[in-house]
């Protein structure tokens, strides 16, 4: 089960509110019933008291039969030596004269009665009421006391849900911010409006972000410095090799060519390392410009045109929407050149490479489609990893696509690579930037 702080809080608070509601309801129900019963007893007692004060004689000697409503109280007055009551509001009801003084509950004529007996030297006064009527009255009152709880508890549930959701909304926002953090976006989390209980947590995350940014920056700087340092001796090596070439004996020419191609490969690797370090650098917003994407694509095509023609590869642009992005032009150029260079490099002679610029879902997409061998599906998820090479037969440093990905995420874009789905073999390599106009 997914643990959700919000659900746990809402559940716990609602259960607590319900328990309080039930306890409160039960106790007010019981108290109200007991109170009502005491009130009815008091009434019996008061009526009996009135009878003692001479009111007894005002009762009709022979009341009309069944004239009394069911819920009313029955009064019976006994004179000391008489066997039948002196007065009774319900002569058919034989109240037990011998009942003890005070309150008693007795069954009379098959019904339960609450009887109050007041004994005087010359007479006994009994005032009685049906227990069923009393229960009904008490019950009616007690149920009425439950209504506020029945209405309030669900309202408090809703209030709990709203309050908890509102309080945790800030956490959700912070979660979204944390999700947005990646190598090229190390933004500190904002602490404004954050509850003080969560502040230490945010401070720790911010500290961690700062340390992470520092360590990534120092790693990037190391790569960049190392590549720079290596470039000078490698250039010197290249020069030495150029100077040496005329003096190499014809039998050693083949080995010498290998040595030179090794130097060239190392130069390529260093150049890619420098590009990667540059792509990983934190974005300086003041350096952003409005980049004309189709123009960048045309330049990249022009650069590879001689090689493409030499190998009989038909390279062209099929759809060139007018599109602009806010970026550093050199970054967009490097990304496009890496994709085009892959397409040319991995497509066999006489193949075809198509480029397109399209605007889809508010993004500017540059797609490079080739007629090469494609990539085994299981290797696709790894092609953006640094130094990963799916095809070791053809030379390369394995950094090109990592550079493309670093540039894409630096500008909030996406890089993707998939095999063609139109029945032909080949790759569709794409990079998308948020549209800048």
Ligand X SMILES: Nc1ncnc2c1ncn2[C@@H]1O[C@H](COP(=O)(O)OP(=O)(O)OP(=O)(O)O)[C@@H](O)[C@H]1O
- Report the interface residues with Mg ion, using CB under 5 A: 342, 400
29 binds, among Mg ion, ligand X, none (CB under 5 to 8 A by kind): none
- Note whether 111 and 92 are within 8 A (CB): no
C-alpha–C-alpha distance, residues 179 and 42, integer Å: 72
Selection from Mg ion, ligand X, none that 256 binds (CB < 5 to 8 A by kind) is: none
**Contact between 99 and ligand X (CB under 6 A)?**
no
Q: Nearer Cβ to ligand X, position 285 or 393?
A: 393
Among residues 6, 170, 389, 420, the one that binds ligand X under rule CB under 6 A:
389
Give 106 or 389: the residue with its C-beta nearer to ligand X: 389
Q: Which of 338, 430 has the CB closer to ligand X?
A: 338
Distance CA(201)–CA(208), nearest Å, equals 11
Among 128, 304, 313, 401, the residue binding ligand X under the rule CB under 6 A is 401
* 219 CB neighbour count, 10 Å cutoff: 13
Distance of CA 27 to the CA centre of its chain: 40
> Which of positions 266-285 make contact with ligand X (CB under 6 A)?
272
- Name, in order, each residue with C-beta under 8 angstroms of 380's C-beta and a sequence gap of 6 or more: 417, 418, 419
Tokens representing 183 are: 């190598």
Q: How far is the CB of 281 from Mg ion (least distance, A)?
A: 20
Beta carbon of residue 395, minimum distance to Mg ion (angstroms, whole number): 10
Q: Are 338 and 362 in contact (CB under 8 A)?
A: no
**Are residues 325 and 436 in contact, defined by beta-carbon separation less than 8 angstroms?**
yes
C-alpha of 28 from chain center: 41
Q: Identify what 334 binds: ligand X, Mg ion, none; CB under 5 to 8 Å per kind.
A: none
Nearest to 21 by CA among 154, 164, 165, 220: 154
Tokens 């790759």: give the residue. 427
DSSP run (H or E) holding 105: strand 102-108
Q: Which of 34-42, 100-108, 219-227, 383-391 is the region at the interface with ligand X (rule: CB under 6 A)? A: 383-391
Task: Tell me how far, at minimum, the Cβ of 177 lies from ligand X, in Å.
Answer: 31
What is the DSSP secondary structure assignment for residue 58, as one 8-state letter? G
The contact mask relative to ligand X for 350-379 (x = CB under 6 A, - = no) is: --------------------x-x--x----
Cβ-contact 167, 62 below 8 angstroms: no
Q: Give whichever of 80 and 395 is closer to ligand X, judged by the CB atom.
A: 395
Stretch that binds ligand X, among 117-125, 206-214, 387-395, 406-414 (CB under 6 A): 387-395
Range in contact with ligand X (rule: CB under 6 A) among 15-23, 328-336, 357-365, 384-392: 384-392
Among 29, 78, 116, 346, binds ligand X (CB under 6 A): 346
SS3 (DSSP) at 367 = strand
Count other Cβ atoms within 10 Å, centred on residue 66.
9
Q: How far is the CB of 376 from ligand X (least distance, A)?
A: 10
Using CA atoms, how far apart are residues 244 and 252, in angstroms rounded to an integer? 12
If the CB atoms of residues 48 and 353 are measured against Mg ion, the closer one turns out to be: 353
* Residue owning tokens 């000078």: 232
Residue 364 CA from chain centroid, whole number: 30
Q: Which is nearer to ligand X, 129 or 342 (CB)?
A: 342
Q: What residue ranges bind ligand X (CB under 6 A)?
A: 272, 338, 342-343, 346, 370, 372, 375, 383, 388-391, 396-402, 427, 429
């Amino acid at each position: 089960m997914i643990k959700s702080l919000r659900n746990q809080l809402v559940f716990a608070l609602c259960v607590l509110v319900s328990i309080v509601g039930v306890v409160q309801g039960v106790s007010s129900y019981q108290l109200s019933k007991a109170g009502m019963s005491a009130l009815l007893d008091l009434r019996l007692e008061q009526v009996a008291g009135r009878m003692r004060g001479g009111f007894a004689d005002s009762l009709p000697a022979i009341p009309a039969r069944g004239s009394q409503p069911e819920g009313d109280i029955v009064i019976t007055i006994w004179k000391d030596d008489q066997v039948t009551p002196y007065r009774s509001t319900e002569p058919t009801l034989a109240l037990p004269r011998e009942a003890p003084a005070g309150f008693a509950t007795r069954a009379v004529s098959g019904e339960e009665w609450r009887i109050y007996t007041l004994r005087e030297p010359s007479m006994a006064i009994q005032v009685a009421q049906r227990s069923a009527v009393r229960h009904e009255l008490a019950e009616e009152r007690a149920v009425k006391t439950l209504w506020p709880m029945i209405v309030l508890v669900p309202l408090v549930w809703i209030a709990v849900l709203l309050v908890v959701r509102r309080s945790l909304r800030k956490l959700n926002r912070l979660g979204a911010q944390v999700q947005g953090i990646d190598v090229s976006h190390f933004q500190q989390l904002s602490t404004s409006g954050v509850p003080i209980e969560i502040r230490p947590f945010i401070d720790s995350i911010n500290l961690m972000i700062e340390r992470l940014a520092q360590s990534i920056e120092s790693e990037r700087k190391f790569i960049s410095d190392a590549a720079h340092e290596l470039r000078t001796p490698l250039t010197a090596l290249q020069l030495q090799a150029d100077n040496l070439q005329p003096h190499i004996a014809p039998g050693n020419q083949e080995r010498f060519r290998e040595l030179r191609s090794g130097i060239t490969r190392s130069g390529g690797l260093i150049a890619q390392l420098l590009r990667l370090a540059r792509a990983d650098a934190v974005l300086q917003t003041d350096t952003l410009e409005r980049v004309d994407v189709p123009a960048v694509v045309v330049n990249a095509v022009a650069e590879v045109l001689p090689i493409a023609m030499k190998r009989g590869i038909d390279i062209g642009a099929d759809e060139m929407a007018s599109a602009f992005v806010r970026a550093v032009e050199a970054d967009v150029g490097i990304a496009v050149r890496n994709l085009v260079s892959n397409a040319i490099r991995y497509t066999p002679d006489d193949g075809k490479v198509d480029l397109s610029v399209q605007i889809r879902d508010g993004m500017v997409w540059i797609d490079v489609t080739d007629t090469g061998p494609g990539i085994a599906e299981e290797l696709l998820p790894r092609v953006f990893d640094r130094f990963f090479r799916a095809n070791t037969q053809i030379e390369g440093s394995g950094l090109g696509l990592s550079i493309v990905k670093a540039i894409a995420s630096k500008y909030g874009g996406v890089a993707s690579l998939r095999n063609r789905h139109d029945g032909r073999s080949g790759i569709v390599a794409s990079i998308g930037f948020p549209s800048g106009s």
